[in-house]
Amino acid sequence: KPQNERQKLPVVPQGIERDEFLKALAELKSQLGDEHIEINDKPLRDGWYMEHPNTHDSMTILDEEEFVASAIVYPGSTEEVQQIVHWANKHRVPIFPISMGRNLGYGGAAPRVRGSVTVDLGKRMNKILDINPEDYTCLVEPGVSFYALYEALKEKGLEEHMWIDTPDLGGGSVIGNTVDRGVGYTPYGDHWAMHSGLEVVLPMGEVIRTGMGALPGNNTWQAFPYGFGPYSDGIFSQSNYGIVTKMGMTLMPNPGGYEAFMYTFAKDEDLEQLMEIIRPLRISNILENVAQVRHVTQSLAAIGQPRTRFYSGTGPVPQEVIHAAAAQTPLGDHSWAYYGMAYGPSHIRAHKLALIDQEFKRIPGARRIDPATLPEDEYFWARERVARGVPDIHELRWVNWAPNGAHIAFSPVSPIRGRDAMKLFALGKRIHEQYGIDFFPAFCVGLREMHLIVEIVFDRADAEQKARALGCLRDLVDQAAREGYGEYRTHLVLMDQVAGTYSWNDGALMKFNERLKDALDPNGILAPGRCGIWPKRYRGRGWEM
């Protein structure tokens, strides 16, 4: 929106008068200090990854004004978070907590309900409260990024002693990523499984500590996640039941050596056999990390060049063109690349690597790429850093595929099986072709399942492209669900649709979620609509999309 239009802002959350809202904000200012509240009345700036906005989704697939905050508040302590929650209940203002808001591809910093007050925890609550080198654990606040945690280990001279686990992009918050159940690529890649202990401000303002944290004087909060009684942590991930103000995280002992490796496979159809080979190796921990099997299209895009460098036509870049271009790179004229890492001293690695080599080479044409032949800025090295817990942002490069590049993901869960991988690959390819969109599939192999991450890159200044991308995503979600595949995580705009696919027994799970929501948040102030969970006040009033 042009500046003069935006000055009529802030947008006011529905159900409250503008003057009343401004008065309420003034009251909050008097409690927290003027400087800790910002009204969102300036032109929206998209910035870039390291200077991202906290007012909206800088990679939005809708109109930018759709998911936009009315104001941003910066609490400095758990007590101030409680004050904000009390205030929101008093005035019935929707609030939306973020840690750092670098949730790229899933909505960034944006709230689901337009005009929510964003609670930006990360700006002032950014302390590493504890690093314990004996137990290999830490305790962090929402504003601690993977970079910051990594730097802190270095400063303490502990980086040789223990590792962090980082997602593809290291600028996000450890808490933000973990509560959204993001993944990394060392053996500690399942962040949610690796956390231990939360401190949470509930929607009515009470504070709880989960697990051993509930026992006064305990010294095992970060060592034993369960404590006694129901394991409550689960309801605070991918939900809107509380604001996480502290979290314990486990750290990985330095394994005593590592070696990244890469294989390529010639044909699209090799995926089937490859998955059958990966499954037993992964479950028995010969393949030790969340590895990636990426299609060449995305690896080519990871060079960081726009798609127009390879092709000027419309519709997906033909595979012959992709292969011809890839043939000029170290990747060669192949369809899939497997990026992995072996851990431990060299004699232990040698055993595992030999087994992997023998198994992978059963696929005709399989090639091991010698890392020594790869130039320094080759994408392989970004994968290598991430797989040993060194934060990185190389991954952003494929966003340059489109001008004003933005991305949004389709990420269904699948067993590690050849026929499932092929089915999802064919489904994705068909729907992408139908919408004229380049197909970027990457399989991230967990332990007994894999997430297929399909990133759609689009020009955020092009309404027609955005509409196509959204149409494509909606079809992907529905058609995959019809085949029994569900998303592990999703963007704000798809949350209702994805939640709707988890409908067994007449939507029994969502009914349960709604009962919890209404019990914990009777005024419906906390992140309404997040993950498809709408509080009573909003339900059935046309908010779902």
- Residue 31 DSSP SS3: helix
Counting Cα atoms < 13 Å in the Cβ hemisphere of 482 gives: 8
Tokens describing residue 13: 């959350």
Q: Which residues within the stretch 456-475 sit at the binding site for ligand ADP (CB under 6 A)?
A: none
Indicate whether 54 belongs to the interface with ligand ADP (CB under 6 A). no
Single out the residue of 177, 196, 465, 490 in contact with ligand ADP (rule: CB under 6 A): 177
Rounded Cα distance between 507 and 235, Å, is 17
Q: Which residues pair with 247 in a beta bridge?
A: 140, 198
Strands 95-98 and 71-73: unpaired
Q: Which is nearer to ligand ADP, 191 or 466 (CB)?
A: 191
> Minimum distance between the CB of residue 235 and ligand ADP, rounded to whole angstroms?
11
Binding mask 249-288 for ligand ADP (x = CB under 6 A): ----------------------------------------
Q: Which is nearer to ligand ADP, 60 or 99 (CB)?
A: 99
Single out the residue of 179, 363, 409, 480 in contact with ligand ADP (rule: CB under 6 A): 179
Q: Which is nearer to ligand ADP, 108 or 255 (CB)?
A: 108
Q: Which is nearer to ligand ADP, 98 or 356 (CB)?
A: 98
222 with 135: CB under 8 angstroms? yes
> Minimum distance between the CB of residue 13 and ligand ADP, rounded to whole angstroms?
17
Helix (H) or strand (E) holding 450: strand 449-459
Residue nearest to ligand ADP (CB): 176
Residue count, binding to ligand ADP (CB under 6 A): 22
Q: Which residues contact 205 (CB under 8 A, 6 or more apart)?
A: 82, 85, 86, 89
Q: Which is nearer to ligand ADP, 235 or 355 (CB)?
A: 235
> Minimum distance between the CB of residue 347 and ligand ADP, rounded to whole angstroms?
38
> Minimum distance between the CB of residue 143 and ligand ADP, rounded to whole angstroms?
9
Rounded Cα distance between 81 and 210, Å, is 18
Single out the residue of 16, 25, 28, 175 in contact with ligand ADP (rule: CB under 6 A): 175
450 with 442: CB under 8 angstroms? no
Q: Which is nearer to ligand ADP, 299 or 490 (CB)?
A: 490
Piece in contact with ligand ADP (CB under 6 A), picked from 86-94, 177-185, 207-215, 308-316: 177-185
340 with 262: CB under 8 angstroms? yes
Other beta carbons within 10 Å of 286: 16
> Minimum distance between the CB of residue 102 and ligand ADP, rounded to whole angstroms?
3
DSSP 63-106: -TTTSB-SEEE---SHHHHHHHHHHHHHHT--EEEESS---TTT
- In the chain, the amino acid numbered 406 is A
Indicate whether 59 belongs to the interface with ligand ADP (CB under 6 A). no
**Residues designated catalytic:** 106, 488-489
Binding mask 64-103 for ligand ADP (x = CB under 6 A): ---------------------------------xxxxxxx
Residue with tokens 């369960």: 226
Q: Which residues within the stretch 474-533 sit at the binding site for ligand ADP (CB under 6 A)?
A: 527, 530
Piece in contact with ligand ADP (CB under 6 A), picked from 17-25, 64-72, 175-183, 381-389: 175-183
Residue with tokens 């002693």: 161
- Residue 195 DSSP SS3: strand
For the chain, what's the residue count? 545
Which class for 507: exposed (0-12), middle (13-18), buried (19 or more C-beta within 10 A)?
Answer: middle
> Minimum distance between the CB of residue 545 and ligand ADP, rounded to whole angstroms?
17
Strands 441-445 and 367-369: unpaired
Indicate whether 180 belongs to the interface with ligand ADP (CB under 6 A). yes
Terminal-to-terminal C-alpha distance of the chain: 23
Q: DSSP character for 374?
A: S
Q: Which residues within the stretch 131-150 sit at the binding site for ligand ADP (CB under 6 A)?
A: 142
Single out the residue of 162, 243, 300, 342 in contact with ligand ADP (rule: CB under 6 A): 243
CA angle 217, 220, 222 (to 5 degrees): 120
Q: Which residues within the stretch 109-128 sit at the binding site for ligand ADP (CB under 6 A)?
A: 109, 121
Q: Which residues contact 542 (CB under 8 A, 6 or more apart)?
A: none
Q: Which is nearer to ligand ADP, 36 or 349 (CB)?
A: 36
Q: Which residues contact 188 (CB under 8 A, 6 or more apart)?
A: 163, 165, 194, 250, 251, 252
> Minimum distance between the CB of residue 44 and ligand ADP, rounded to whole angstroms?
17
Binding mask 357-376 for ligand ADP (x = CB under 6 A): --------------------
> Minimum distance between the CB of residue 106 and ligand ADP, rounded to whole angstroms?
7
Q: Which residues bind ligand ADP (CB under 6 A)?
A: 97-103, 107, 109, 121, 142, 172-173, 175-177, 179-180, 243-244, 527, 530
